[in-house]
Amino acid sequence: MMISLALRTLRHRVAAFAGAFFALLCAAALVCACLMLLETGLRGDVVPERYAGAPAVVAADQFVRQTVVKGDGDTKTKAKALGERAWLPESVVAGLRRDGLKVVTEVTFPFGGFTGHGWESAALTPFTIAKGRAPRADDEVAVDARAGLDVGAELRGYRVVGVTAQALPSQDTVFFSTARARSLAGHPGRVSAAGVFPGLDRAPEGAVLYTGDERGRLEFLDAEQARLKLISMGGSLAGTSLLVAILVVMGTFALSIQQRQRELALLRAIAATPKQVRGLVGGEALLVAAAAGTLGAAVGIGLGFWLRGQFVTLGAVPANLHLVVSPFPPLVALAATVGAAWVAARVSARRLTRIRPVEALGEAALGPARLPWWRLVAGLVALAGGVTLTLVLSGLHIEAAATPVTLLTALVWTTAFTLLGPVVARVVAALLAVPLRISRVGGFLAARNLRAGSGTLASVMSPLTLMVAMTCTILFVQTTMGYAAQEQADAGTRADYVVAGASGAAARAVPGVLSATEVLRTSVRVGLDKYAAQAVARPSGTLDLGVVAGSMDAFGDGTAAISRTAADRLGLRPGDPLKLTLGDGTPAALTVAAVYSRGLAFGDVTLPYALVTGHVDNPSATLLVRAPGVRAATLTAALPGASVLDRATAAEVSAANPQVTFVALGLIIAFTAIAVVNTLAMATSARSGELAALRLAGTTRRQVLRMLRLETLGAVLAASVLGSVVALVTLAAFGAGMTGSAVPHVPLWTFAGVIAAAAVLSLAATALPARLALRSAA
């Protein structure tokens, strides 16, 4: 019966429920899209291209593994992906050939915009020659059909002698002679992989067997890294989105119930039982949420494809890692929105159904006298949670761990202010009463309305506070990290130029060059923990890492320098042994020579260049050149083919960020902005009777609009202060843990833009429904 009555109510009050419907739709879409990213990270596969013609491929293990003993004595092996490609010893290949199998080996390496291979591996796809012949000499290459080159052309100093009939969908391929490819790859005695014909049942010792779509994971190691990023980012975003959605939906339903308080009180007065009223409200919520959640889940699938497309464009996800589409994300999004709506509606109507009918009518007319005890307790618990998370965040030194906690901290603080909203709103109304008197009529009315309608003010302030807090937190986490890293780079870089495409020996031979340091960027694992690393040769004169313990004079073969963050985490100091795994899986036992402070700019681990150069996918080093009296043009002329940038320009280039984080988290900002518009539009539309009464009482249209603008600006001002406080506390804790400074870097113009955007959105969301209401009143 209550569902039937709820259906009739919805039919005759479509406008009243439009705001709740739209909020639920956006919530379902956001949650569905984020869960699609998470599922793609968990189950996504890439179809092999390069290895499509090989039934089985053997390669080295691309993971570092560690066996841990659990409390009950059982063991468990954990695995983490390597940062570079692990190479397979040719002794494993020789063993397969002794077993009578046909084995096709290959090496792979970057060659400009191409991927280089030896012609010996053409059968893995297979590639065939359409024009010319296969390369045989060291100065010969064959290019794929998409290269646009013909036989006789030149490619980076090599002569094109063949063009293949095939081209891979996502790779530009160039083939060298077998000997030349092995030389360019720089891994003597090792190969990237080996195709086995007609197949293989189990992997040989010291290798891993890949078949089916597993070959794609081996071929595209960046796809495996992208999957891990999607798991981390999708999980974090889905959780954050769900919490934001719940907060927004509860605020929307609270406002909706508040606007219908008199109607529900009348139902109580004509003998409707509390159970029946709860059933009516819950039924309405279920019907609205079911319709909005279904449509929102469908929209979320499209949003998931859009997100994936943006990530592909930004280079964060390879094009051949396709989005996984299954019923799981839409169903979870639908269930989450329906559950959030039902709980929000029941909680919002809780007090109205627990008091006597006469009290309900009085409360509908005058508003509640005080904050319900359960809401006060919940708000205090949320405040305690915010304090706890802030303290936890200040002790986190790893970005992957700090980022989700940062967002959660801002959300919990915002939730606390939302739960305590009516109390905060009364304080705000009292504080705004004095400045609002500047306008005699509009300001007087605005001050009276804010004081009388503290519940509505609290409902309006909630999404505004959330928008300001989340936007500032998301934006200024990035600027805080970037500024701290740039400060460290500026303080630690002594070089005048950054050079790519030249050898250190050639640079040091240029007259006027005092020193040149080869630098390679990679990653290492200590245990299973990943650390950004750099390999340097001759750092004296070009790099100052900010040593705080030990000395770089002791840095050399068999040693390493580590950042203060890594040293604290690992419990190491100069002279201690350090066991780590290089990017390609090679173990190394070193001794800590120094501990330095500038890890944000130069990585957490600094290794000798000679140790790392044979264990990275791209051994081409960047050079830091100190040449105070040499002009850039002179250095460019002396190093033909090299790219020469001065230090300032190189810093700008290195600071460029694909902004993947902004694209993903920008959806949450957009959702909160939609919630702001939605809430204000609902609150203003519900006041059509009040506005009409003001017009009948002699208030001019201009005075009414000024009153609404002042009310809105007052709410924006209060929410901006609260949101900024939430963001400042969160960013201070983040900065204390990640950069060592509790002072965040907040560009003033960006902050002003956030506040201005909130004000413009709020005024626009108030003005349009207000003008429509005044027009109908006329």
For the chain, the domains span 1-46+220-369, 56-216, 373-491+655-778, 502-641
Which amino acid is it at 579? K
Burial code (b: 16+ CB inside 10 Å, e: under 16) for 634-660 equals: ebbebbeebebbebeebbeeeeeeeeb
pLDDT value for 294:
92
pLDDT value for 374:
75
pLDDT value for 195:
93
Task: State which residues of the chain have pLDDT below 50.
Answer: 1-2, 6, 355, 358-366, 369, 653, 655-656, 658
Distance CA 423, CA 140 (A): 79
pLDDT value for 439:
64
3-state per-residue secondary structure call for 363-425: HHHHCCCCCCHHHHHHHHHHHHHHHHHHHHHCCCCCHHHHHHHHHHHHHHHHHHHHHCHHHHH
Give the pLDDT confidence of 688-716 residue by residue, as tens digits: 677 777 777 777 788 878 887 888 888 88
Backbone φ, ψ for residue 29 (5° rounding): -65, -45
The CA-based angle 251-425-410, given to 5 degrees, is 55
pLDDT value for 442:
63
Task: Give the list of residues 6+ apart from residue 545 with CB closer than 8 angstroms, or none.
Answer: 492, 539, 552, 561, 594, 596, 597, 598, 602, 606
* Residue in the structure block whose two tokens are 């506070």: 465
pLDDT value for 454:
64
pLDDT value for 353:
55
Beta strands in 205-341 (DSSP E): 208-210
